[in-house]
Amino acid sequence: MLSFLAANWGTLLVAALVLLVVVLILAKLLSNRKKGKSPCGCDCGQCSSCGVCRKP
């Protein structure tokens, strides 16, 4: 097991960093959704697809 970790430490480190970034992005999206913010970041009053982003 240690030989596997020693041989692949770089790949495992990059994979862990990518996974961390994905988790942080998802946490931010969920946080914004709970606060009622629009995922697109624009004014939903002028958007024809307002019903898709927000519930009335």
Query: What whole-number distance in Å separates Cα of residue 4 and Cα of residue 22?
Result: 25
Closest CA to 28 of 16, 17, 37: 37
Query: What whole-number distance in Å separates Cα of residue 11 and Cα of residue 5?
Result: 10
pTM greater than 0.85 (yes/no):
no
pLDDT for position 54: 58
Q: For each of the chain's 56 residues, which pLDDT tens digit applies?
A: 899 999 999 999 999 999 999 999 999 989 988 887 766 666 666 677 666 765 55
Residue 2, classed as helix, strand or coil, is helix
pLDDT for position 11: 96
Tokens matching residue 18: 């990518």
Please report, for the chain, the start and end positions of each structural domain, with discontinuous segments joined by +: 2-53
